[in-house]
Structure 1
């Protein structure tokens, strides 16, 4: 019996040693907190996984990526962001590559390679709208402003999901971001709420569409569902965002499947993000719904934002 236990222990040690020698190569497009949270989540879920990290610092440096992959000889490459993914995929055709942190990945043809899988950045619209409707049951129509070049695929998928919930999704194409308020006004009678998607052509430092969208939503009492907590202070009602550490845990799980279970990458489909983080603007909720709001619905929200709570936090600091 003792001999058997010794043999099992030796086998276990050898297996552990083999796995510990595998290298997991992270290539990130730039040094963002969200990307660092992803890596932290990976580390927590896979503490024995040996990581090497390359930060491209926003530079399209394929030569640096080539040298890094060649020198580290990883078992898996994890690319965070479109810049990192494109550089990795152009160079490497055999080592498994997992991408994440890419908005609307479906519009990037370079991701369609046999050694590539990934995790989407888009939370399924069915999940978003279900949570939105739990807060405001009367929501049966939602307007979504978007630029057709960057977000058509997201909106197309969302329409299918909204139909399952008997919610009408009103497409509001915005060609000129600075005229978003005019486009919203043109459909104002068709929707009861608004959905802000992560459209990089609409919402960036060069346009005024973000401030115009939030002002329009407040002025016309249209509940605004945003993709980040950052927009609640300005006037969005509710945000549902990705849990970035959760993305890291998913990447760890896929990496284990590839290396430890020897699962072929072709058998691992691109997956949706698991786990969300929800924040509600209590002030906007009261302004929209009034004092009769059922605050029991707040129990399902991860965080409640209000001007009063923020002032208290600032005073404590």
Structure 2
């Protein structure tokens, strides 16, 4: 008999104003149960065998795709009997700590974290427990001090990386327009995954005769000024896999288009939000990879030390045809070879 997922617990994050200003804080509330308890034969389903807590930093298409791939793989392809407790921190680092603490208190069988900050919190909170942690959408888990050894994780944590080769993305700018000599990057200074990508891009640009101008921000409110500043010198804007920027992709894309900047993204979903070319990680399949690791731990009892951290196995390329036409670019340009065109 095929075992079905018994439910997903959704954590609503409530917003409360603090003081007299406009600053907001976010506190997790009590999870709301959304249970289904019937199987293919309309019989009463078994009690869930495993409980997996899913801690996601923030909602945006890339991270949502990771979660969807993870759940679908375990539910439909690996046929595991699971109760999922999905909780979203809404971009608040403090919430990632509270979420991890609640999952430990609930004694879940496994925690699945999506994005670096959520993973760092889960690692810290689970240090003195035997709860395994599988992460995904982490760019550099060594730099972010999540693991020391990618091939043989030493603690209770392993997972999948969304690392992409920045040099291949920077080359696309030169293919699209050979006159490009300066590329801008906007990044969140609070994300270690972003810091490492900026450093890698600066190094890769040297071999291509390009200059990287990076502007660090701490809030979505800083984006407009950052784009305006970069547009004075840069001809292109490179969107790394930064969670803060990803939540405001449409704004970034509109500002870039207004300033005539060529945009290339490392996240596949962003072409549909107005980025010219998005080529990189297939986040849905990254979630599926992570689910396979969870299966090894929960079903096959494989020690985490025997489950190496994995890089993405699938990449994609999308081109926004509307932006292409706005910038008067040629659809047959080699930079767009193999791409799926979207509006």
Once the two structures are superposed, residues 217-272 of structure 1 have per-residue CA deviations (whole angstroms, 9 ceiling, x without a partner) of 22332111235566546642112353233113322443466578876534544333
- Correspondence for 1:100: 136
Residue 304 of structure 2 is aligned to residue 304 of structure 1: no
Of the structure 1 ranges 217-226 and 100-109, higher mean CA displacement relative to structure 2 is found in 100-109
Once the two structures are superposed, residues 74-97 of structure 1 have per-residue CA deviations (whole angstroms, 9 ceiling, x without a partner) of 4x6533455477347523644542
Aligned 1:138-153 pairs, distance under 5 A: 139-150=180-191, 151-153=194-196
Could you tell me which of 113, 121, 126 is aligned with 1:86?
A: 121
Of the structure 1 ranges 275-284 and 166-175, higher mean CA displacement relative to structure 2 is found in 166-175
- Correspondence for 1:29: 55
> Structure 1 residues 66, 217: closer, same or farther in 2, change over 3 A?
closer
DSSP-derived class of the 2:107 partner: helix
DSSP-derived class of the 1:119 partner: strand
Could you tell me which of 200, 203, 218 is aligned with 1:160?
A: 203
- Correspondence for 1:219: 258
Q: Which ranges in structure 2 are unaligned for 5 or more consecutive residues?
A: 1-48, 90-94, 149-153
Once the two structures are superposed, residues 183-228 of structure 1 have per-residue CA deviations (whole angstroms, 9 ceiling, x without a partner) of 44444464331112344455657xxx963x4344223321112355
Q: How far apart, CA to CA, are the structure 2 residues paired with 1:222 and 1:198?
A: 18
- Larger CA Rg, structure 1 vs 2: 1
Could you tell me which of 271, 278, 281 is aligned with 1:242?
A: 281
Root-mean-square deviation (CA, aligned residues, Å) is 4.1
Q: Which one has a larger percent helix, Structure 1 or Structure 2?
A: 1
Q: How far apart, CA to CA, are the structure 1 residues paired with 2:292 and 2:205?
A: 30
Q: How far apart, CA to CA, are the structure 2 residues paired with 1:130 and 1:43?
A: 40
Once the two structures are superposed, residues 88-123 of structure 1 have per-residue CA deviations (whole angstroms, 9 ceiling, x without a partner) of 752364454221245775675566772212222343
DSSP-derived class of the 1:69 partner: coil
> Structure 1 residues 86, 168: closer, same or farther in 2, change over 3 A?
same
Deviation of the 1:28 alpha carbon:
1.0
> Structure 1 residues 133, 116: closer, same or farther in 2, change over 3 A?
farther
Q: Which ranges in structure 1 are unaligned for 5 or more consecutive residues?
A: 1-22, 307-317
Residue 70 of structure 2 is aligned to residue 38 of structure 1: yes
Residue 319 of structure 2 is aligned to residue 280 of structure 1: yes
Checking the alignment, whether the CA contact within 8 Å between 1:65 and 1:88 is kept in structure 2 is no
Residue 221 of structure 2 is aligned to residue 173 of structure 1: no
Checking the alignment, whether the CA contact within 8 Å between 1:195 and 1:225 is kept in structure 2 is yes
Q: How far apart, CA to CA, are the structure 2 residues paired with 1:238 and 1:42?
A: 32
Compute the TM-score of the two structures, normalised by the length of structure 1: 0.65
Q: How far apart, CA to CA, are the structure 2 residues paired with 1:215 and 1:169?
A: 21
Q: Which one has a larger percent strand, Structure 1 or Structure 2?
A: 2
